[in-house]
A and B are shown apart, each in its own frame.
Chain A
Amino acid sequence: MMLTRHLILNPAAALLLATAAMAAPAADTSAGTQLEYWSAQAGAPGQAARGQAFFTSRHGGEWSCSSCHGTPPIREGRHATTDKSINPLAPAFNPRSFTDSARSDKWFRRNCKDVLNRECSAGEKADVLAYLLQLKP
């Protein structure tokens, strides 16, 4: 079976989403689906505790993920340089979080390079998603 992190939509739902997309970016996935996807890519399930440690550590550089997203990332964050506000990252606090795979991929690519000076591995992404998904109101 081919594992995908995209939701499988029936035509009516697709039409509904296309209408919604005029106001907001298309929701082609979800945080839960992405957790499954990256866990499968890594060959092991994401671990929340490891994700938390990863999220809050500086990896030899100046910033951690939480420098901009906050600890825990359940409220509005602030860009460490420009101070521009950043929507809450934890999906329970922001329904749009991780619902657009291209957007998630882009920010993982950019932000991992800022924090780790390299791209994140599938396992690291799975851990971070596991951590973010267990943050609840």
Chain B
Amino acid sequence: MSLPHHTHPGHALAALLSSLSLALGLAGPAAADDDERGMPRPVPPAYSSECGSCHLAFPPGALPAASWKHIMAGLDKHYGSNASLDDATRRQLDTWLQTHAGTWKRVGEAPPEDRITRSAWFQRKHRHIRDAVWTHASVKRPANCSACHPGAERGDFDDDHLKIPPGLPLHLRWAWFD
């Protein structure tokens, strides 16, 4: 039997550094990679009210500029819904998303259908999550970030701040302790 382990050298190094800083009583800032996953401040109120009323107001850094461009140009057919905006709001949010789009190393390429959940980095980060977790009644779909990341609304996706979706059977929970 193999124990859950970190396969990525970066993770192993980060884990080592984090244990070291714990041992030394230091609390450093999050790795530079994680910064772009957070929410750039201030968030335009229209971003929360227009985008965030139907789904999580996703951090702009989760997609590259090309994806946001494409999404903002097709809001009348937005993943099966009409999410059209007045011109002024659309331009304002477009500019903000372009300014804060992801440039960190794994977000370079536009994912299929411009879906965050189909990005290589997303799938890698969630590689230990079983299909049955995604479809569980308290999760429903991979885009439901808040099911496991309670700080998602604030752009907090820290691995140390995870929660277990209510009712998730024990045998599906082990990834949380990995």
Contact = CB atoms under 8 A, between A and B. Distances in A.
Contact of B82 (A81, A84, A110): A110
Interface in A61-118: 79, 81-84, 109-111, 113-114
Interface residues of B, number: 15
Nearest to B147: A83
Contacts, number: 31
B174 interface: no
User: What bracket does the count of chain A residues touching chain B fall in?
Assistant: 10 to 19
A110 B53 contact: no
B55 A79 contact: yes
Interface of B: 53-56, 76, 79-84, 140-141, 143-144
Given A81-B79, A84-B54, 10 more contacts: A81-B54, A83-B144, A84-B53, A84-B55, A84-B56, A109-B82, A110-B81, A110-B83, A114-B81, A114-B82
18 contacts: A79-B55, A81-B54, A81-B79, A81-B80, A82-B54, A82-B144, A83-B141, A83-B144, A84-B53, A84-B54, A84-B56, A109-B84, A110-B81, A110-B83, A113-B82, A113-B84, A114-B80, A114-B81
